[in-house]
Structure 1
Amino acid sequence: MSNKISRRKFLGNTAAATAAFTIVPSNVVSGLGHKAPSDKLNIAGIGVGGMGHANLNNMKTENIVALCDVDWEYAAGCFKDFPNAKKYYDWRKMFDEMGKSIDAVVVATPDHTHAITAATAITMGKHVYVQKPLTHSVYESRLLTKLARKYKVATQMGNQGNSGEGIRQTCEWIWNGEIGDVVEVHAWTNRPIWPQGLERPKEVMKVPKTLNWDLFLGPAPDRPYNSIYHPWNWRGWWDFGTGALGDMACHILDPVVMALKLKYPILVQGSSTQINTESAPHAEIVHYTFPARENLPKVAMPEVKVHWYDGGLLPERPKELADGEVMGRDWNGGVLFIGTKGKLMCGCYGMNPFILGRKENPVVPQVLRRIPKAMEGGHEQDWIRACKESPENRVQPSSNFEYSGPLNEMVVMGVVAVRLQDLKRELQWDGENMKFLNISDSDVIRVVTSDKFEVINGHPHFDTKTATINAREAAESYIKHNYRAPWTLPPMPADV
């Protein structure tokens, strides 16, 4: 076989090899401090076995240059779809090796590692797209919000309904006064659809060869591997997830926060089925009270009470809803807005809103920017658009961290209220300072550590054990986690 090669073929092969192995950040290509729309971003994905894979598929217009996952078997499908991307277990190594050539990062790891990965990326000047819930704790949400502001990067939380038509209709109808002043809201989900209410397993399993368990744990306390945690089922475990409230409220409460211009609640109280030290409960209810806000031209914004239900629980059915009709016309969940002149319902993600008792939807002025195909990749593409714009001229993505940070703070603060329910009181929340005002140094909560039941000789026998925990210390650790060494967050920036 001849070893001769033509000059044209040699140059073509050399160019192809250079393109494959030399990744130049797109700001170098454009040389302008922003990217022309025709320039492609170099995007890295962290946590690509689940939703991260779906997000990256909606970003195929760009260069997917690096993929990082702690479980290479779980991530195999994404690796196959992007064969030219360099693969990593550890995102820290990825940033060390490729940081200068990465423009933007998608974070879709378990909840407890959202903040540390995204915060690191932001401090490197990278744009970030972070799956919902934005973070695992209130403090982490505040941190990402302030870091994004300081470093002027484009940000987006992965609550894709926020870019949709339904949430915009809901807002515009309410702002036009179609149901009067909203004074009460009920929101619900059919989740969890994963195991919850569990005790920590005693069995210690062998870690699969394709999984780096220590990297999965990240900043969470050390514990032995068990297949019940990963993949996907981590959502129900306090150290890794936030239960049904954290998982779905960023979708379902999104139209509530956006339409009513909510920020920090002032009161909260949670209740649930049995709660233990390890896992979120099977079902829960959370009651929030928000203060009055500045009135709009056609509608007032009085104090409003927002009620959350999950685990199959539902609010009282409105009498105006036809018999046999699904609440919100969506099995996954929905929202009921109660105003002084009427009631509005929508489904999960704010989809398909309708006003009870009306045959036709109202026709009102469209005042919000529309995002095409929001639920089919438009949410991700709108973030990509913003990444390519200069900070001075950027049209912010709909769920940028200035909006989604406070939204997520409210959601995960509700998770804390559920965990503190043994205080048996409505908790006063100081949102600005991220603390409860009516928990004393001497307050304690009792939380189940194990619960056994058996029938002996025809009689029920219960063996329930509890731990007594200082409530203030617990609240502080739930609001701001104590990270396992050597994992640390960047410092909280001063207000800018």
Structure 2
Amino acid sequence: MRQPSLSRRSFLRTSAAAAMVAGTGFHSLASAAESKSPNELLDIACIGVANRAAENVRGVSGQNLVAMCDIDDNYLNQALKQYADKKSNRYNDFRVLLDKEKSIDAVVVSTPDHTHAPASMWAMQLGKHCYCEKPLTHTVHEAREMTNYAVKHKLATQMGTQIHAGDNYRRVVEAIQAGAVGDVTHVDVWVGKGWGGGTIPTDPPPVPKNVHWDLWLGPAAERAYSPVYMPAQWRRWWDFGGGTLGDMGCHYIDLVFWALKLKYPTKIGAEGPSPDPNTAPLGLTVNYTFPKTDVAPAVTMRWRDGDHCPREINGQAVPGSGVVFHGTKGMMIATYGDFKLLPEDKFTDWKAPEQTIPRSIGHYEEWIKACKEGTPTTCSFDYSGPLTETVLLGNVAFRTGGPIEWDAKSLKVTNNDSANQYIERKYREGWRI
């Protein structure tokens, strides 16, 4: 049975919280600090509870989990049983959850990419703090909208790039910014995954009784259910995900953004197979150009994934996924867990700079603390929004079939108007942010 459509306008109108949206009652970081002491527990709603989402639920499980939402009843039942002591209210439709759970302080959004923005934006419009999985959004336009809204209304936000809280990334950032390899002029980033390929099923089976397929589609165009999309294969499909770049770009390019203080690229080109209108490629190369920052000159960055991944760079064997910073004094190979300066004989006497970036209290803990006390997070939407835009622009360049020139201020591709169709998207009735 199809779920009834609920438009954004009627959602806000029927919610008592609409008065907050129409007036000045947004939960700012300051008001959060006034209403919650460090020892009080947050009232959190979890939108998405299984697979990747299960880890996010666990990460905030020390708080009050007042509501859980998932389109799969089996997943929802399992999560409610696991956290039975929380006595969480159950929902299949996050719009209904947001309408009814008026007293929640915050939401954790762990849905597929195409519903990140509707769930997160509607929650923020009701004054709720927001933790959202990576990539922050499905489109560039959504990323900018969510970034601007969170900053304007002083909401505590965090994108789910959990590796950002690791010690190794901090040591890499300190070393690069201290000039370990000199001025960085080029960076290689690669990930040995291949989320791509596939054809639309022609003989779809019935929708399982436990799956609310219409709610899973959310803002995406209607199509028949098939198990080829769930639980993770949706990443291959443009209507739902962004391929390998969309999946992993925010994790690995994050290190480059942090170390070089990057924000928006000015030019993006992509190489790969002929673009498919439905699915991402099995391998992709994207070349980005960034303007200079206060810690780096103008820099180029090359992303490669799937069957485009390198086995060596500059004659040096490299791991399956990683980052190489190319500087005027040498290069650094970095992964999630370690880094190496090359050529090794040149850096035998190298000493790491003083540690200036403090140890993280934990990725989830940062956000929880921010919700309660107004403290900053390291992956707030004003940082992770531009990072997400950069990642998604790589897919725009690929689907356009040629280099694009990007005007970040106007949010437009200036050299190829046809590329702008991929900056925004059409929403199914009842799902527009």
Taking structure 1 as the reference length, the TM-score comes to 0.77
- The aligned counterpart of 1:89 is 92
Contact 1:161 1:351 in 2 (8 A): no
d(CA) in 2 for partners of 1:185, 1:438: 25
d(CA) in 2 for partners of 1:289, 1:32: 40
- The aligned counterpart of 2:325 is 337
d(CA) in 2 for partners of 1:213, 1:306: 39
d(CA) in 1 for partners of 2:268, 2:393: 9
- The aligned counterpart of 2:168 is 166
Matching residue within 422, 434, 455 for 2:411: 434
Matching residue within 341, 347, 362 for 1:355: 341
Listed as ranges, the matches of 1:223-242 within 5 Å are: 223-242=223-242
d(CA) in 2 for partners of 1:381, 1:31: 15
d(CA) in 2 for partners of 1:403, 1:360: 35
d(CA) in 2 for partners of 1:149, 1:131: 18
- The aligned counterpart of 1:198 is 198
d(CA) in 2 for partners of 1:409, 1:369: 27
- The aligned counterpart of 2:392 is 412
d(CA) in 2 for partners of 1:60, 1:487: 29
Q: What is the CA-CA distance between 1:351 and the residue it aligns to?
A: 2.9
Q: Map Cα deviations across residues 96-119 of structure 1 (whole Å, 9 max, x no partner).
A: 111x22111000000000001000
What is the total number of aligned residue pairs between the two structures?
Answer: 400
One-letter amino acid of the counterpart of residue 96, structure 1: D
Q: What is the CA-CA distance between 1:90 and the residue it aligns to?
A: 0.4
Q: Map Cα deviations across residues 190-209 of structure 1 (whole Å, 9 max, x no partner).
A: 112x5x21121111221111
Could you list the structure 1 runs, at least 4 aligned residues long, displaced by more than 6 angstroms after superposition. Answer: none
Listed as ranges, the matches of 1:272-351 within 5 Å are: 272-294=272-294, 296=295, 301-315=296-310, 317-319=312-314, 321=316, 327-328=318-319, 331=320, 333-347=321-335, 350-351=336-337
One-letter amino acid of the counterpart of residue 190, structure 1: G
d(CA) in 1 for partners of 2:48, 2:59: 15
Contact 2:136 2:159 in 1 (8 A): yes
d(CA) in 2 for partners of 1:80, 1:317: 48
d(CA) in 1 for partners of 2:208, 2:387: 37
Contact 1:197 1:274 in 2 (8 A): no
d(CA) in 2 for partners of 1:430, 1:313: 28
d(CA) in 1 for partners of 2:310, 2:292: 23
d(CA) in 1 for partners of 2:260, 2:271: 25
What's the C-alpha RMSD, in Å, of the aligned pairs?
Answer: 1.9
- The aligned counterpart of 1:402 is 382
One-letter amino acid of the counterpart of residue 287, structure 1: N
CA gap 1:31/1:259 in 2 versus in 1, 3 angstroms: closer
Matching residue within 331, 336, 354 for 1:365: 354
- The aligned counterpart of 2:6 is none
- The aligned counterpart of 1:134 is 136
Listed as ranges, the matches of 1:191-270 within 5 Å are: 191-192=193-194, 196-270=196-270
Structure 2 residue matching 1:338: 3-state secondary structure:
strand
- The aligned counterpart of 2:120 is 118
Q: What is the CA-CA distance between 1:251 and the residue it aligns to?
A: 0.3
- The aligned counterpart of 1:388 is 372
Contact 1:179 1:343 in 2 (8 A): yes
- The aligned counterpart of 1:480 is 424
Structure 2 residue matching 1:388: 3-state secondary structure:
helix
Structure 2 portions without partners, runs of 5+: 1-26
Matching residue within 179, 201, 210 for 1:177: 179
Structure number with larger C-alpha Rg: 1
Q: What is the CA-CA distance between 1:141 and the residue it aligns to?
A: 0.4
Structure 2 residue matching 1:277: 3-state secondary structure:
coil
1:59 aligns with 2:60: yes
Structure 2 residue matching 1:39: 3-state secondary structure:
coil
d(CA) in 2 for partners of 1:149, 1:365: 32
Contact 1:428 1:438 in 2 (8 A): yes
Q: What is the CA-CA distance between 1:185 and the residue it aligns to?
A: 0.5
Q: What is the CA-CA distance between 1:166 and the residue it aligns to?
A: 1.4
Contact 1:213 1:225 in 2 (8 A): yes
- The aligned counterpart of 1:456 is none
One-letter amino acid of the counterpart of residue 342, structure 1: G
Contact 1:90 1:215 in 2 (8 A): yes
Q: What is the CA-CA distance between 1:319 and the residue it aligns to?
A: 4.8
Q: What is the CA-CA distance between 1:31 and the residue it aligns to?
A: 9.5
One-letter amino acid of the counterpart of residue 286, structure 2: V
Contact 1:173 1:362 in 2 (8 A): no
Fraction of identical pairs, as percent: 41
Q: What is the CA-CA distance between 1:315 and the residue it aligns to?
A: 3.7
Q: What is the CA-CA distance between 1:316 and the residue it aligns to?
A: 6.7
One-letter amino acid of the counterpart of residue 81, structure 1: Q
CA gap 1:206/1:360 in 2 versus in 1, 3 angstroms: farther
